[in-house]
Chains A and B, each alone.
Chain A
Amino acid sequence: MLKNCANFLASLRLTVVCLALAIIVIFFGTLAEVQIGLYAAQAEIFRSFFVHWTPAGTHLRIPVFPGGWLVGLVLLANLIAAHIRRFQFARKKIGILLVHAGLIFLLAGQFLTEIYQVESQMRLPVGATINYTEDSRNHELAVIDVTDPARDSVVSIPESLLATGGEIRPPGLPFTLRVKSYFQNSTPSGPASVEDENRPTAVVEVVAGGRLLGNCTVSSWLPEPQKFNLEGRAYEMALRPKRYPKPYSITLLEFKHDTYPGTDIPSNFSSKIHLRDPAHGEDRDVLIRMNTPLRYGGETFYQASFETGDMVSILQVVRNPAAITPYVACTLVATGLIVQFLMHLIGFVRKRTQVPSVPAAAAPPKVLQPALAGKRSDR
């Protein structure tokens, strides 16, 4: 039984089936992006173990097809199993081993990327200095003690806790919050496309010492936080895109939106920023352009977008601890292919060089004569 399982896991048939399923998932996932949007297609088809079907009028999620993660995971397991099952360290196979190791590294690295990558945005009006990035796909209920004139003390409550409802006790604050209602998406024009970003809203009660202080509506639609005072301290509360505070700050000095002469076709976007990180002695200007990102603090800042009027630049900020894995994987695969090719080339050349060493007394086979003569005559 165990042997059968091992054979199945390491079989070439499983590899072929996985590759075929991967093709199907990619093909239909790409088509689905048209219908349900890029973000939803990625979440439902590529970044899930199963593609689910929900019968009309129910909340059931019935798995109907393997998702991207499952196909990738089985393929990875298949590769590792095959590697171990057929592992025979021999000089002749070192190239093949390297190629397979590269593929394993690529798949494992992609899983790590899926798990640990954090994408956010930095919205920079010209002249503004920002020390945080925002994730517009995820929100937080920020309860901020603004009493200190120099620093704010922020308690960030994830949106998922609002969705759960009930009572929330922000640590270090003299009150609790009771979620009265929560709306995952609150848009101005009825049901929104899943491609659109959610704009959540919640109504929470503020309770201190068992006494209800009042209701407070928090919404990502509100441009200003809700404010209140309690026990001599000033608080603000806002439901906003989740923020990732940074130990450094970035100031947008200039945003350029170049077009091809005589047309409105964009030719280049660039943001000239000033990076300031006193802890690491950084105090310099940086030009971020399309395909020329800034890499700093384990994050990569790409020129992603802008707002009308060219006064606001939007940088896509990506933190991916596994970012190096594709490069390592590609290097491994390329090295393996080169090694394999060179080994075959060397073997071939050796064989060729061995031909003249055949003893002169040994006459060539007669059957080759007409063929060789024929080839020569063809030229």
Chain B
Amino acid sequence: MLCPVVMKSTCAVTVACLAISLLAGCRRDEQIQNYQTPKETAPPPPAAPAMTMMGADAMPLPATSAPPRWTTPAGWQEMPPNGVLLGDFVVPGPDGKKAEVAITSFPGDVGGALANVNRWRGQVGLGDITENEVASEKAVVDSSEGKLYEMAGASERTVVAMIPRDGASWFFKMRGDSDVVAGAKPAFLEFLKSVRFGENQPAATPSNPHAGMAGMGAGMGMGMMSNMGMGMSNMHTGMTNMGAGMAGMGMGAGMGMGGGMGMPAATSDEDPKWSAPTNWTDSTPGPMVKKNFSIAGEAGQKATVTISVLAGEGGGTLANVNRWRGQLSLPPIAEDGLAKITESPETPGGKSTLVDFTGTDAAGQPARMVAVSIAHGGQTWFYKLTGAVPVVAREKDAFVKFVQSTRYP
């Protein structure tokens, strides 16, 4: 009597357990899915950290700092800001060897000195060390005191200044061929002395979608598959931390509206005083554009004047000139060709750079552009007159006078 019951019991329990184990072992949602969905009409702004009912885990938005200014050592090639890199330089060496200097900033201590030192050591082929073995020198950047670390591997060497400032960590890192880094170290130390930090500014917030990273998508929209992966590889604690890097990614927005290339500048309470010709119509400025004028020509032709401002050098003259040339379907030029196509008229804001191109616009129509960039007060102002060739030709003198008549606060 017992045996059948026992057998029945054992079988039933075994089957039940196996079934439940199998069910528990199943991994759902691990397949690629394909579906159609209606377009989002009004995408909500990026999620801010959610508060619980008690409001306890609200998290402040990270603050980032305005980009620093510096004096580039002779022989260093300054690259446009790239992704999270607030500054990027190539230090050329003999036989094609080179080193790279990168400036980045992230909120907090980014995992602490030991974690970063061990990561840097790993990059040059060295093993991890303990906290007691970390060697450093004192480093001072714009009166902020930090530490200088040096890691020498078999073929590569890294020198990093890690500077805590205003709740963020600034990294000035030179990495590359051992000989090049060793030779460039004195210049690197001089470079650190020349660095001046900017004033703090708030990080990009959801209510300001055109600032910070929001611009990156616009940059991609121009068909440029951004090589941000390179920037990521330079980030600290692996790919930690795009928080502070966000401010550096405003590049796309700047491109989209035709202004400069680089970080969006802090908004000034007092804009310059402009005196526009009467035939210019003040129109609604687009994203990142301070001022916008429309100029009507004959037979429906028209031109526009846009004024924008970006922090620092706005990406540099060569990068902006080549971008503007690209907008008129013109090939890029090399740095040594820059002097041939630029003029430097004096303006109340300081020395300016003026370019004048004629090419074709996105619609394939002949178009002309006169653009002026003026470095003033740690910012770069961009004035652009773009449109049909006859209208731009007619308005160029008025445009130059307009730029020269601007009074800066």
Contact = CB atoms under 8 A, between A and B. Distances in A.
Interface of A: 2-3, 5-7, 9-10, 49, 69, 73, 76-77, 80-81, 84-85, 87, 108, 111-112, 114-115, 123-125, 127-132, 138, 146, 149-158, 160-161, 168, 170-172, 180-181, 183, 186-191, 201, 203, 206, 213-217, 219, 221-229, 242, 245, 266, 269, 290, 305-308, 312, 314
Given A77-B13, A187-B241, A221 B6 contact: no
Q: Which of B46, B106, B228 has the most CB of A within 10 A?
A: B228
A67 to B, nearest CB: 11
A156 B9 contact: no
B301 interface: no
A215 B20 contact: no
Report, as a range, how many residues of chain B touch the other chain: 35 or more
Nearest to B221: A227
Contacts of B243: 188, 221
10 contacts: A3-B6, A81-B10, A128-B44, A138-B29, A153-B35, A155-B32, A191-B237, A224-B213, A305-B52, A306-B50
A221 B30 contact: no
Contacts of B246: 221
Given A5-B10, A156-B34, A306-B51, 10 more contacts: A6-B7, A10-B9, A152-B36, A156-B32, A158-B31, A188-B106, A188-B243, A221-B213, A224-B214, A225-B217
A340 to B, nearest CB: 23
B44 A151 contact: no
Contacts of A306: 50-51
Contacts of B8: 84
A85 B44 CA distance: 59
Nearest to B237: A190
Contact of B242 (A3, A128, A191, A222): A222
B122 to A, nearest CB: 15
A77 B44 contact: no
A156 B152 CA distance: 44
Interface of B: 2-3, 5-10, 12-13, 16-17, 20-21, 23-24, 26-27, 29-39, 41-42, 44-53, 58, 62, 83, 106-112, 115, 206, 209, 213-214, 216-218, 220-221, 223, 225-233, 237-244, 246
Nearest to B222: A227
A217 B46 contact: no
B34 A154 contact: yes
Nearest to B112: A190
A154 B33 CA distance: 8
B217 A226 contact: yes
Contact of A188 (B206, B223, B241): B241
A54 B240 CA distance: 24
A73 B17 contact: yes
B47 A215 contact: no
Given A152-B37, A217-B232, A227-B221, A125 B239 contact: no
A123 B44 contact: yes
B37 A132 contact: yes
